[in-house]
Copies of this chain bind each other. A is one copy, B any other.
Amino acid sequence: MPQLRLLPRRVWAALLSQLLRPPCASSPGAVHCHSQVAEAVLIPQLKPHQDKPNFIIKTPKGTRDLSPQQMVVREKILDLVVSCFKRHGAKGLDTPAFELKEVLTEKYGDDSGLIYDLKDQGGELLSLRYDLTVPFARYLAMNKLKKMKRYHVGKVWRRESPTVVQGRYREFCQCDFDIAGQFDPMIPDAECLKIMCEILSGLQLGDFLIKVNDRRIMDGMFAVCGVPESKFRAIGSSIDKLDKMSWKDVRHEMVTTKGLAPEVADHIGDYVQCHGGVTLVEQMFQDPRLSQNKQALEGLEDLKLLFEYLTLFGISEKISFDLSLARGLDYYTGVIYEAILLQSPAQAGEEPLSMGSVAAGGRYDGLVGMFDPKGHNVPCVGLSIGVERIFSIVEQRMKTSGESVRTTETQVFVATPQKNFLQERLKLIAELWDAGIKAEMLYKNNPKLLTQLHYCENTGIPLVVIIGEQELKEGVIKLRSVASREEVAIKRENLVAEIQKRLSEA
């Protein structure tokens, strides 16, 4: 057979030159896949899973697919969160899904056992990221950045015992905002709380409260109560459980499991039941024991300043100074906070019920220095929005209210009542696509008109363009509103403009 050259010579030469390129140069995103080596190796026959005994088709334990419905809800929530972060001047950043194992070690206290490690396949020891904060600190140190305001939306992985019913997954999305840099006290911290308020108000999840404390106040409190310094973290970790356990049980754990003297536990008990606004800060300044502790005083000074700024931001009534707030992570060094949703009381006078934490964060001034070759620190403060819990709440509400969402954005459907009209439909739909109109048609040569119209009703497409023999002859198209079932004939050349007009009015 003769060599064929149907392409112009220059195109042909271009293709040839591609053949001469070095291996691996081909695909950065390696589109689907490139088989590299198949040296005389017989590729095993594709074997259906149903031939394998014991194979259950599922996602890994604690993970799930996100359906189109869920994706729509997510997209809306994430858009609101990200636009708030951008409103506050944050830049976007992304880091790899995994880090060198060593980057993650000794950052998460007792939770380190929940880190997913990758198999050693010859090379570096790697772990899936556990949060977005440690990678951010690693990024700052690695690039020697002294300040940065960034947001990061991404998945993190934790090997928790999955109690899926409660909406706790092993793979979940985090939305973080952080401010790194040496600034005047409490200005960035106040902005973080403002952001939490803007997002929680914007999402209309109902009433919420942000608990605030300071690691230095907590440590000072432990010190003045007589907790030995070696037990600070262990006792802090008990205190952290106060949102799930009663004080009695927490006290029992501190005394029995952690060996704290009962009277020391009772001293702590006096403090951790305190919560209130700026007046509680003032009160603690007067506290005969706490006011003797330098660390605690520093924390109180900062909280006082913080409340001043929160008042200027108009959000101080959303904030509660709460001595029971501990936060589990090792890396916090100053102010810490956690937002909870409050169920509206069923009856007046009833205590509002907490629906759990939906956002949290704090100051971590020492983390970047752990990665810096010379130990130089970059003070940081940030927050993380608990979007997974928020997704669950919104999905649950939609389920309860019977509200449904469209999972596509299609604006126009191209239909025909006639057989053998595929060619005209294809020409027409390409015209719409090229004009930027979101359009669909059925992938059938001869679909029934009723089937086509049902498709629009089922998927919420608002407009249908109908083309048939008659329309073709007259140079018009029928434009139909799915809701009103009204149809008008429009000149073919005006169709795109008319559709755009209708869509902009909708």
Contacts and interface: CB of A to CB of B under 8 A. Distances in A.
Contact of A24 (B55, B88, B168, B314): B168
A125 interface: yes
A477 to B, nearest CB: 16
Given A1-B270, A33-B327, A60-B99, 14 more contacts: A18-B353, A28-B166, A29-B143, A29-B388, A30-B142, A42-B230, A48-B369, A49-B102, A61-B123, A61-B124, A66-B93, A87-B436, A92-B407, A191-B443
Interface stretch (A109-117, A293-301, A481-489, A498-506): A109-117
Given A24-B166, A28-B167, A271 B312 contact: no
A22 interface: yes
Contact of A43 (B88, B109, B338, B385): B109
A65 B233 contact: no
Contact of A194 (B43, B89, B369, B433): B433
B46 A106 contact: yes
Contacts of A71: 91-94
A97 to B, nearest CB: 6
A283 B2 CA distance: 12
Interface string A1-35: 10110110011111101111111111111111111
Contacts of A44: 106
B356 A26 contact: yes
A43 B330 contact: yes
B131 A38 contact: no
B49 A275 contact: no
B155 A97 contact: yes
A243 interface: yes
Nearest to A92: B71
Contacts of A416: none
A87 to B, nearest CB: 5
Interface in A219-269: 230, 233-234, 237-238, 240-247, 257-259
A408 interface: yes
Contact of A243 (B21, B37, B340, B387): B21
A75 interface: yes
Given A19-B242, A26-B243, A87-B436, A33 B329 contact: yes
A438 interface: yes
Nearest to A342: B14
Contact of A63 (B20, B96, B258, B373): B96
Contacts of A128: 97, 118
B244 A30 contact: no
A96 to B, nearest CB: 4
Interface string A36-71: 111111111111111010011111110111111001
Contacts of A95: 59, 65-66
Contact of A32 (B133, B188, B410, B438): B133
A102 B38 contact: yes
B87 A439 contact: yes
A273 interface: yes
Copies of this chain, count: 2
Contacts of A258: 39-40
Interface string A340-374: 10110100011111101111111000100111111
B354 A15 contact: yes
A474 interface: no
Nearest to A54: B102
A399 interface: no
B57 A142 contact: yes
A243 B19 contact: yes
Nearest to A139: B65
A384 B29 CA distance: 9
B96 A28 contact: no
Contacts of A433: 87-88, 194, 198
A237 B38 contact: yes
Contacts of A119: 116-120
Contacts of A120: 119
Contacts of A320: 7
Interface in A111-150: 111, 116-121, 123-126, 128, 130-131, 133, 138-139, 141-144, 150
A408 B86 CA distance: 7
Contacts of A314: 430, 434
16 contacts: A10-B351, A14-B352, A24-B161, A31-B385, A32-B329, A35-B109, A38-B109, A38-B110, A39-B257, A40-B257, A41-B110, A44-B106, A46-B370, A48-B370, A59-B95, A191-B443
A468 interface: no
Contacts of A450: none
